[in-house]
Structure 1
Amino acid sequence: MAARCLGTVTFTCFLIICLELLVILFMWSPPAAWLLVPNQQESSATSTLKTTLEGDNQTFPTVKDMLEHLHDSPLMVTCVNYGFVELLYNLLFSIQRLKIQPNILVICEDKMSFIELSKGRQNLNLEFKIALTFLEESTTKSTRYTSDSYIQLVQKRVYYIELLLRHNIDVLYIDSDIVLLEDPFKFMNGKEDLFIQSETPRKSVVCTGFFYIKANNRTCRLISAWRRALPRDKRGNQRVFNEVLNRFKRQIKVNILPTDRFFSGKIFAASNEPWSKRSPKPVEIHANFMTGSVKKTQTMKNLGLWFIPPSNNSNIL
């Protein structure tokens, strides 16, 4: 009798322990920032992440949800949070004035920017797709490029780019604080794997704010190595990319774009000559080397690079 009671107690304890383990496993979930889709080995972990977020009577499709609608390649990709939405509108208006219609995907890092762009797109005669990040949402503010929140924001682009490359989509990644003055794709018809902007005339440092990368095994390995290096390095994504690219220099064919056509803010601001009078004509101008959306916006306006029509200012933001 005592042995039977002891067996019953032991079995009951075993059931309780199993139930507790099941509860722990059910409640545990890894941080969203690590639920990425960089390769097949990691895809099982990411399959548990919900790809559609619902808010106030609105559904927010994520980048993953958009994949089935992104068959056309190349794809122009830009990322934005609410603090940089006005600069993004300026980029989109600069594309519209060129009378071209590239395939464009805007990845919103917060729901506020998604909602704003969903409403504001009616003011543009330009088609573009909008998706919400499938990672955790970022700050809605325009932050300093040295801040932790900004570093987190810009590092996320690496995951989006790798996801698209692995789906055989060529990507032109373009920061939201850029304007286009000519069709950039005309300058990217070579056999190289990567076409990228330089920060300096000597072309010694490349800029991760503007580059065109073709989808192949070599570039997937490059971007994967960049992604893996980021969590271990606090120096910023661009410096890490330059170091990783140097390691891949025998595998990746690189075309560093001419600095008299593709301008960093530092190079462009070194001359007071208006962009419309420069020869050769600028293709792209990047308002980097300055902090915050307010300063970037004012600089763009001072240089005649503000393309949001006055009639649209009241309808935007």
Structure 2
Amino acid sequence: MARSLHQQKQPIYGAVSLFSRHGFLVLLGLLVFLGVILPWFGISSDVFVRKNALSKWRDYDLPDAAAFVGGSSGNGTVIVCIVSYPYMDFLKNWLISVASFGHAGKVLVVAEDYETLEYVNRRWPGHSVLIPPALENVGGIAHKFGSQGFFNFTSRRPKHLLQLLELGYNVMYNDVDMVWLSDPFPYFKGNHDVYFLDDMPKVKPLNHPHDLPPPGKKGRTYICSCMIFLRPTYGAKLIMKKWIEELQDQPWSRAKRANDQPAFNWGLNKTSGIVDMYLLPQVAFPSGGLYFKNETWLNETKGKHVIVHNNYITGFEKKIKRFHDFGLWLVDEHSNKSPLQK
């Protein structure tokens, strides 16, 4: 029996033309899905683009990153900070102060998690690198000082710095709970192997010696591991190696909630006769225990401070409040100066 006219005109589904009414409806539905349904579930429509961009930076290694910020010749300077995502606001604040003195281009953010790697490189391409393994952030909560997570985070530091020294770069390390009030580079005068600052709040005379201070009650010095300048010399590399050894000999335990600073000091003490060390002037590089807690000293030395460290206090909110109280929280009014705003 011959097919009816109606039967002969049945459409063949699966071969839909975009120019047909049905094809237009399919395309419209897809656009609605990408623009409305995915965001409703918290999925951005650019998720696939972001995924491809992130995979690019996962292959980015330290030599490439150092060459990008410090120069391909290997004799430039790299300013290093090591950051996990919960510290992002402090990174922004620190970067604004660094940028104010024209040194932001030298900054390399060593990301300890993929969130930080992606965030920085999406806004400031090439200025962040991740050295595996990546840190696992649980719920975006920062590791508390004295915890095993904090120890694991900070104990990787000398390995990163040593690798940069082996590549031939001068290296300046900063914690991101610092603020620059002046350009620190004129203070790295001479050709010393390592430059560091005293972490004690006791006031020193303005013309204090620049040698390694004498040991304290625990038999070691109290030098801060949070601001260091290193030249790519045998002596600087030796200190990093000793720091790594001391961290391995003094691992974290529940009974002994270690951090990286005592190991750094033991490394300095054990190489003091071999390495050319330079203690930076206290008036320019004060500890938080001095700058924030000695009002008389602060007023007497006004205008002489270079880098301020917000230590001798724990907790994000407390640190931010103290920065606010002293006019050092810059992200609210000066965010346009941050490289991460690009």
- Which interval holds the TM-score relative to the shorter structure? 0.7 to 0.9
Rounded to whole Å, the distance in 1 between the matches of 2:335 and 2:263 is: 39
Deviations 1:237-289 (A, max 9, x none): 11011112111011111111111110211111222369798434210001112
| 1:211 aligns to 2:228 (yes or no) | yes
- Indicate the residue corresponding to 2:280 in structure 1: 257
- Indicate the residue corresponding to 2:198 in structure 1: 198
**Quick one: structure 1 residues 63 and 138, their matched pair in 2 at CA, closer, same or farther if it must change by over 3 Å?**
farther
- Indicate the residue corresponding to 1:299 in structure 2: 322
Q: Is the 8 A contact 1:87 1:293 kept in 2?
A: no
The one-letter amino acid of 1:296's match is: K
1:66 positional shift: 2.2
- Indicate the residue corresponding to 1:40 in structure 2: none
5+ residue gaps in structure 1? 1-53, 122-126
**Quick one: structure 1 residues 298 and 119, their matched pair in 2 at CA, closer, same or farther if it must change by over 3 Å?**
farther
Rounded to whole Å, the distance in 2 between the matches of 1:67 and 1:310 is: 31
Deviations 1:224-244 (A, max 9, x none): 121122122133211011112
| 1:86 aligns to 2:84 (yes or no) | no
1:68-147 matched pairs, under 5 angstroms: 68-69=67-68, 70-71=70-71, 73-101=76-104, 103-121=106-124, 129-139=127-137, 140-147=140-147
Rounded to whole Å, the distance in 1 between the matches of 2:300 and 2:126 is: 31
Rounded to whole Å, the distance in 2 between the matches of 1:275 and 1:115 is: 39
Q: Is the 8 A contact 1:74 1:169 kept in 2?
A: yes
- Indicate the residue corresponding to 2:302 in structure 1: 279
**Quick one: structure 1 residues 277 and 310, their matched pair in 2 at CA, closer, same or farther if it must change by over 3 Å?**
farther
- Indicate the residue corresponding to 1:228 in structure 2: 245
**Quick one: structure 1 residues 271 and 159, their matched pair in 2 at CA, closer, same or farther if it must change by over 3 Å?**
same
Rounded to whole Å, the distance in 2 between the matches of 1:101 and 1:254 is: 26
Q: Is the 8 A contact 1:110 1:133 kept in 2?
A: no
TM-score, normalised by the number of residues in structure 1: 0.73
Deviations 1:191-216 (A, max 9, x none): 21111011014654110100101111
Rounded to whole Å, the distance in 2 between the matches of 1:100 and 1:137 is: 28
The one-letter amino acid of 1:108's match is: A
Structure showing greater Rg: 2
Rounded to whole Å, the distance in 1 between the matches of 2:307 and 2:170 is: 19
Q: Secondary structure at the match of 2:172?
A: strand
Q: Percent identity?
A: 21
TM-score, normalised by the number of residues in structure 2: 0.68
1:103 positional shift: 1.3
Q: Secondary structure at the match of 1:83?
A: helix
Deviations 1:52-89 (A, max 9, x none): xx982222223244244343522111111011110010
- Indicate the residue corresponding to 2:290 in structure 1: 267
Rounded to whole Å, the distance in 2 between the matches of 1:192 and 1:112 is: 37
1:172 positional shift: 0.5
The one-letter amino acid of 2:284's match is: R
Rounded to whole Å, the distance in 2 between the matches of 1:275 and 1:96 is: 24
Rounded to whole Å, the distance in 1 between the matches of 2:153 and 2:83 is: 9
Rounded to whole Å, the distance in 1 between the matches of 2:313 and 2:123 is: 26
1:303 positional shift: 1.1
Q: Is the 8 A contact 1:174 1:211 kept in 2?
A: yes
| Matched residue count | 257
| 1:308 aligns to 2:311 (yes or no) | no
Rounded to whole Å, the distance in 1 between the matches of 2:240 and 2:297 is: 36
Deviations 1:113-165 (A, max 9, x none): 122223454xxxxx972111233324343221101101111111111001011
**Quick one: structure 1 residues 291 and 101, their matched pair in 2 at CA, closer, same or farther if it must change by over 3 Å?**
closer
Compute the RMSD of aligned alpha carbons.
2.7
Q: Is the 8 A contact 2:80 2:172 kept in 1?
A: yes
Rounded to whole Å, the distance in 1 between the matches of 2:335 and 2:260 is: 35
Query: Which is further off, 127-136 or 154-163?
Result: 127-136
The one-letter amino acid of 1:137's match is: L
- Indicate the residue corresponding to 2:15 in structure 1: none
